[in-house]
Structure 1
Amino acid sequence: MNATQLRRAFTSFFEQRGHTLVPSAGLIPHHPSAPLFTNSGMMQFVPYFLGEEPPPWARAMSIQKCVRLSGKHNDIEELGRTRRHLTFFEMLGNWSFGDYFKEEAIRWAWELLTEGIGFDGDRLWVTVHESDDDAEAIWHETLGLPMTRIQRLDKENFWEMGSTGPCGPSSEIHFDCGSEWGDEGGPAHGSGDRYVEFWNLVFMSQFRHPDRSLTDLPQHNIDTGGGLERWLMLLQGVPTVFDTDAVRPLIEVVEAVSGTRYGAGGRGDVALRVVADHARSISFLIADGVVPSNEDRGYVVRSAIRRAVTRGHQLGIERPFLRTMVERTIELLGDAYPELPGAAALVGDTVEREEHRFRQTLAAGSALLEGELAKGVVPGDVAFKLHDTFGFPIEITEEMATDAGVTVDRAGFDAAMAEQRARGKDARKGGSAEVVMETYRGLVDQHGVTDFTGREEHE
């Protein structure tokens, strides 16, 4: 089953059970409690769960585009190093707003997986909250899942929207990938690579108060979420999400441009995966209106672009290539997300411009960083120079150091940053020329370095 077929199977199944297909929300959320980017399928439904607005439907489903590049839900550290993490992914989900509850949610999940899609039921494990006798009974007594494949956990199976707000127990569905992926023992005790969690069913039935007490909600809701790429990995029997038909075509583009073969292991594979993943994140963020800059969302997307270019440089790519990557991304996902083809020129022009600017300092910055990595530590002042002079976000320096097994003096970097801010503050108070220099630095970062050719052209 490929990505297109999985999307159709999911939506068809829940359409037959009275769910309204709600289009994916944009990646820039609008609720006051939201993080920088939409990072889960339920985010667009927050006003309904909080009781701020009445839901237009009793049952809903969606395939939500998600980005986890910042904040609490940030998969950067795992990206490229594990078999299942991405910074852009599609989240499959179904919701009930005061309509059905645990029995239907669990039963339909089982039916979809084993009958509608073709998962081997004998390889499925579930976890439930330690207090949730009802969920355990539905899995075991109603559906016949052996007790040996049902495990109870504590906080791992209790979902909360935040420090206060709606919450409730959950039941997670896991797939046993076999002994070659780690120790047995089920999700509670075995390897996370062996027992891959791929669908979470949340039974939203309680409210967490500031004093940490819990009370029952007046209506019970269902909130489920599962990563499409993980489902594909398990269904297609491939080692990682990067080997699925959703991502592998992008890795093939990087292979062709760099001449690096995927599957050799080590830093090369990590770099190939990061570039492929970021082509997707970058394309969707820019299409949804995020403009690269040095602040907030713009900083995140600029850092993602520079991370992709840096990883490409690591693979030996010495010419601009990101436009090719985002164009292939739009080809792959344009049918599922029509906003992408409509923004193709904007996305392509933006990454081309950003890559051109960063490449003006990339080679020198990379040489400096590689030299420090060979010494075993990256001093704080060097990390600051990479940031301030060469445009390397500190996150990229830290990631490259992690790859090499080297540490970065983050405290020293932070001190240098604080000192620069203090100088800038003092300069602004005194009207110093430093203000002008800060302005010029910002303009150079925004527009790039310009070569003066006046004498050659006019003399």
Structure 2
Amino acid sequence: MNQFKAIFLSSIDANDPRSNLKRVANSQKCIRMGGKHCDLENVGINFRHHTFFEMLGNWSFGDYFKKEAIEMAWDLLCNIFKLDTHRMFVTYFGGCNSLCLKPDEESKEIWQSLGLPKNKIIPLGIEDNFWEMGETGPCGVCTEIHYLLEPTPYDADAETLLRNSIEIWNLVFMQYEKLGNNQLKSLPKCHVDTGMGLERMTSVVQGVNSNYDTELFSPLFDLIEKKTGAPPYRGTLKDPIDIAYRILADHSRMFTVAIADGVIPDGTNAGHCLRRVIRRALMKARFVFKQELPADLLTLLTEAVAKTLNDPYPEIAENLYDIKGIVNRETKKFNRSIKRASELFGKMLDTSSNTFSGKNALQLHFQYGMPEDIIEEFAVHYDVKVDWNEFNDLYESYSTRKQNSSDVNQT
């Protein structure tokens, strides 16, 4: 929502072409690799997380508000997407004493008017049904629409409903600006900001329980299987090969889109995040799918990603030559260090233990520039557990000594 923040705060320049917007619908490419939300470590180990995804949204800038937003959302889900109304329920803001906010009775009554039974209109607290960017900025209560993954008794309680469902749409009602010290100030106008994850909604519409079982990912899985000779993707949660399928498919989408949008892998900021994702994909291609030339697989995947996303994002195919060139160059850099890193890791192993010491992990991190996630990939390959507690203790001690030394040098 950053592109519309100035509209919410009524601080947008009158000459800005966005200043006259009243209603907007969009699909936004999103990458989650840092800040408040970072999904990297969750990718592969479950069926829902991604480093790259598309967020669908509709916006109202001082135009329609709660009634119209809720009614339009329900109409789309029920009459256009044809979702089973018995498998949907909603949550709304139940109030917060610390912010001096009462329950959102208006949203509750609107949902009741649409025919939802009382047990499927659930009040929740600030952690679930109050949306904010950060410590300060535009914010407001929200109502979330959930979809049950399997048929559930009509009279199921709130705990059962929440446990057996996924959130498919969040409708945020921007009414406030959060100031310091937990103070809220009413915005000059009321706005609507909604968010629906395309991958998650696709899984619901196509009737599957995993984002990765949709047509968004199946072409990538087919390519991986054909190129590597690996067993077909089975959609299991724990199998290392299935986990690697999900990581490789997700990461190939992320780095293809990021490079097409102008991000270059390097050692700082967004470039560093991109490099981590490419290298994590290379590790899976090399160690799980046994590819001696993992760049070949990754460049083929960029072609498949460009094809699957060609209609909404033709710029990916237009930049495919450059994308493949950047992936190949990054692979060559990584290959020069990966052989040496593998040898070092192997030499550091204690054959009498299934634990890789935090001290050795720290040495690999500082002396050889090996990120923690790559160390973890080596540990999985060698079937050992890294002592991350020892690593973190030593890292903190090192950081403290370094800071103290810096303070002394400045005096």
- Normalised by the size of structure 1, how large is the TM-score? 0.76
Q: Is the 8 A contact 1:271 1:314 kept in 2?
A: no
Question: Structure 1 residue 361: deviation in Å?
Answer: 2.9
State how far apart, in whole Å, the 2-side matches of 1:105 and 1:295 are: 41
How is 1:74-113 mapped onto 2 (pairs within 5 angstroms)?
74-113=38-77
Aligned to 2:285, which of 312, 320, 341?
Answer: 312
Q: Is the 8 A contact 1:381 1:416 kept in 2?
A: no
State how far apart, in whole Å, the 1-side matches of 2:20 and 2:355 are: 56
Q: Is the 8 A contact 1:251 1:276 kept in 2?
A: yes
Instruction: Report what 2:117 is aligned to.
Output: 146
Q: Is the 8 A contact 1:168 1:203 kept in 2?
A: yes
Letter in 2 for 1:162: G
Q: Does 1:167 align with 2:139?
A: yes
Give per-residue Cα distances to partners, 1:210-254, cap 9 Å, x unaligned. 121223222000000010000011111223111111122112222
Instruction: Report what 1:176 is aligned to.
Output: 148
Question: Structure 1 residue 77: deviation in Å?
Answer: 2.2
Q: Is the 8 A contact 2:33 2:39 kept in 1?
A: yes
Q: Does 1:211 align with 2:189?
A: no
- Normalised by the size of structure 2, how large is the TM-score? 0.84
Q: Is the 8 A contact 2:355 2:384 kept in 1?
A: no
Q: Is the 8 A contact 1:59 1:97 kept in 2?
A: yes
State how far apart, in whole Å, the 1-side matches of 2:47 and 2:339 are: 30
Q: Does 1:292 align with 2:256?
A: no
Question: Structure 1 residue 191: deviation in Å?
Answer: 5.6
Aligned to 1:202, which of 169, 172, 175?
Answer: 172
Letter in 2 for 1:205: Q
State how far apart, in whole Å, the 2-side matches of 1:59 and 1:82 are: 35
Q: Give 5+ residue unaligned stretches, structure 1.
A: 1-41, 430-459
State how far apart, in whole Å, the 2-side matches of 1:63 and 1:256 are: 32
How is 1:248-397 mapped onto 2 (pairs within 5 angstroms)?
248-261=218-231, 262-263=233-234, 265-315=238-288, 316-319=290-293, 320=295, 321-366=297-342, 369=345, 372=349, 375-387=353-365, 392-397=370-375
Q: Is the 8 A contact 2:59 2:193 kept in 1?
A: yes
State how far apart, in whole Å, the 1-side matches of 2:210 and 2:343 are: 32
Give per-residue Cα distances to partners, 1:331-358, cap 9 Å, x unaligned. 1112211221221111110011111221
State how far apart, in whole Å, the 2-side matches of 1:348 and 1:241 are: 26
How is 1:224-243 mapped onto 2 (pairs within 5 angstroms)?
224-243=194-213
Note closer, same or farther for the CA distance 1:145–1:93 as it changes in structure 2 (3 Å cut).
Answer: same
Instruction: Report what 1:11 is aligned to.
Output: none
State how far apart, in whole Å, the 2-side matches of 1:209 and 1:412 are: 36
State how far apart, in whole Å, the 1-side matches of 2:401 and 2:366 are: 10
Letter in 2 for 1:195: S
Aligned to 2:20, the other structure's residue is in SS state coil
Aligned to 2:68, the other structure's residue is in SS state helix
State how far apart, in whole Å, the 2-side matches of 1:169 and 1:419 are: 41
The number of residues matched between the two structures is: 380
State how far apart, in whole Å, the 2-side matches of 1:190 and 1:124 are: 9
Aligned to 2:42, the other structure's residue is in SS state coil
* Aligned-CA RMSD value: 2.9
State how far apart, in whole Å, the 2-side matches of 1:239 and 1:373 are: 42
Q: Does 1:51 align with 2:51?
A: no
Question: Structure 1 residue 392: deviation in Å?
Answer: 3.2
Q: Percent identity?
A: 37
State how far apart, in whole Å, the 2-side matches of 1:349 and 1:65 are: 23
Aligned to 2:44, the other structure's residue is in SS state coil
Instruction: Report what 2:97 is aligned to.
Output: none
Aligned to 2:173, the other structure's residue is in SS state strand
Note closer, same or farther for the CA distance 1:369–1:121 as it changes in structure 2 (3 Å cut).
Answer: farther
Question: Structure 1 residue 81: deviation in Å?
Answer: 1.2
Give per-residue Cα distances to partners, 1:356-397, cap 9 Å, x unaligned. 221223245346557749834332342244345665322332
Question: Structure 1 residue 97: deviation in Å?
Answer: 0.3
